[in-house]
Amino acid sequence: MLKSADTGLRAVPFPIEDPERIPVERYFSEEFYQAEVEHLWPHVWQMACRLEQIPEEGDWIEYQNVGKSVLVVNTGAGGIKAWHNACRHRGVPVAGHPKIDSVVGGDHGNCKQSGFVCPFHGWRFDMHGENTFVYGKQLFSERQLEHADLNLIPCRVETAIGAAWINFDDEAPSFRDCIGPLIERLEAHNVDKLRMEWCYATVLPANWKIAMEAFMEGYHVMKTHPQLHSALGSLYNDMYGSDTGTGSGGGPGKQQKSAADGAGLREVLDAQFKHMELLSEGMAGMLHAKEVEIARGLLDVEGLPENPNEAVPIWFGMIADQITRQLQARGEPVPNLCEVNVSHPVNAVEFLFPHYFLLPFFSSFSSYRIRPLGPESCFFEIYSLTMFPEGEEPEPVMEPIVLPYDSPDFPPIPRQDYSNIPIQQVGLHARGFDFMRLSKDCEGLISNYQRLIDGYLAGVPQEKLAKANNLLGGNFDGKICDLDF
């Protein structure tokens, strides 16, 4: 256990002693936030950018989090590299404008010809991080000009599922080892072929973990998203505890069973389709409009069993088959959904520790990235991801459209979530509210990732942390796990 006196581990502020109860101070304590800055973020894989944002040799984009700025660069034949964004002279960032021009960085450009030029004294660096110019070399001692010592400091970077991931810890297990089998399942769905349609962002007056936990369970749908609940009925009261997996790609699962209770096939199919339209409204990638239109064409399909419990899974399979056939015919790199839904199933929400989500349904995805701005503030980005025929991909989205968190321009579903998150942060300070009280059956992911954070804060060996991290794949709406530390 983490609290054992002779483990040699660091003490964790406000540790989790009961997996079903999360101490509330973890969401607003400056001490806990600083522990995360010092012992969590320097050792985890962070989604730094999407690869379509740096498609050409010399393209770069800045990634910033918890006071650190990194430049991710496409060096052509040298692959994707990352450099700590600080001139080796006196530390001024050589590109971007950390915490000046934008909330959390994100500047971009191409350095193939000009390289990076420090705005303070004009020192230059090429895209490989090598120093190419020192103004007034004769003014410095020889020992200050050793070539290798002047190069930009590399930051560890790996690429997977269409994104570049950075880690400040050179000794950490690989990204694939940390995420585990989930990567293979996502790869089978051709996630690396997805491209951004749009990206919205906002500053939420809430701890970054509060923002993330809103998307770790479906228990909130009944009250937070009443339009979804109205379309399909109760998800948890009537039948929780039976076979309630959401199925591959967020398919019928528990919604279908609830909607089918006492209803005829026509009514059930109409409800399922209404649910698709509501998910698609403004969210795009979560369930893309082109997929909804294909499903619309199958509403009157003949030959389905009269029993809705038998018919709806068959109907969803027919939709997946037609999405595959029709989008492939357009030249989109969609996998055979019927095959991968069986061989490599993914959940309606997949969490990649510590701050990234992918939300599939059929072939397109929504994704979320959350970064802390302090103990009670975070930056939240929403991406719509879909596929395009080769050669017809849109220009990459380089910066999010930043809106106030209560803006009516947000899609309906995140707007509903954003209405809860800030007031929840206020409620955490209420007298007598000492801990989150979690369901052991459907809010386990919250407990699991929080206890994984404790492992990082305590200094648990990284091999154990990676093994525990593997358990988070497919854990949406899941149970509390034994993390083995």
Same domain for 232 and 149? no
Tell me whether residue 430 is in a domain. no
pLDDT band for position 228 (50/70/90)? confident
Total tally of structural domains belonging to the chain: 2
pLDDT digits (tens, 9 = 90+) for 126-148: 999 999 999 999 999 999 999 88
Tell me whether residue 104 is in a domain. yes
Nearest by Cα to 209 from 485, 454, 474 = 454
Residue 342 is encoded by which pair of tokens? 């069986």
* Other Cβ atoms within 10 Å of 441 Cβ, number: 16
pLDDT band for position 284 (50/70/90)? confident
How many Å separate Cα 421 from the centre of its chain?
17
pLDDT digits (tens, 9 = 90+) for 298-345: 999 999 999 999 999 999 999 999 999 999 999 999 999 999 999 999
Average pLDDT for 72-81: 97
pLDDT band for position 241 (50/70/90)? very low
Q: What per-residue confidence (pLDDT) applies to 236?
A: 58
Q: Give percent of the chain with pLDDT exceeding 90.
A: 85
Cα–Cα distance measured from residue 23 to residue 447, given in angstroms and rounded to the nearest whole number: 11
Tell me whether residue 108 is in a domain. yes
Q: Which residue has the higher pLDDT, 352 or 286?
A: 352
Average pLDDT for 365-376: 97
Tell me whether residue 359 is in a domain. no
The burial class, CB within 10 Å (0-12 / 13-18 / 19+), for 237 is exposed
Residue type at 476?
A: F
Q: What per-residue confidence (pLDDT) applies to 230?
A: 82
* Other Cβ atoms within 10 Å of 315 Cβ, number: 24
Tell me whether residue 148 is in a domain. yes
* Chain mean pLDDT for the chain: 92
Nearest by Cα to 242 from 228, 229, 253, 231 = 253
User: CATH no. for residue 86?
Assistant: 2.102.10.10
Q: What per-residue confidence (pLDDT) applies to 199?
A: 95
**Among 343, 367, 393, where does a domain finish?**
343
Which residue range is the domain that position 135 belongs to?
46-167
Residue type at 420?
A: N
Cα–Cα distance measured from residue 164 to residue 330, given in angstroms and rounded to the nearest whole number: 28
Q: Give percent of the chain with pLDDT exceeding 70.
A: 92
pLDDT digits (tens, 9 = 90+) for 420-457: 999 999 999 999 999 999 999 999 999 999 999 999 99
Distances (CA, A) of 75 to 37, 100, 159, 240: 30, 27, 14, 51
Same domain for 57 and 142? yes
E strands, 375-432, where?
377-386, 401-402
Supply the DSSP symbol for 97.
Answer: -
Nearest by Cα to 32 from 64, 48, 10 = 10
Q: What per-residue confidence (pLDDT) applies to 103?
A: 73
Tell me whether residue 100 is in a domain. yes
Q: Is residue 72's pLDDT more than 80? A: yes
Q: Is residue 101's pLDDT more than 80? A: no
Q: What per-residue confidence (pLDDT) applies to 231?
A: 80
pLDDT band for position 477 (50/70/90)? very high
Diameter of the chain by CA atoms?
87
Supply the DSSP symbol for 201.
Answer: E
Average pLDDT for 77-81: 97
Same domain for 137 and 74? yes
Cα–Cα distance measured from residue 222 to residue 241, given in angstroms and rounded to the nearest whole number: 17
pLDDT band for position 242 (50/70/90)? very low
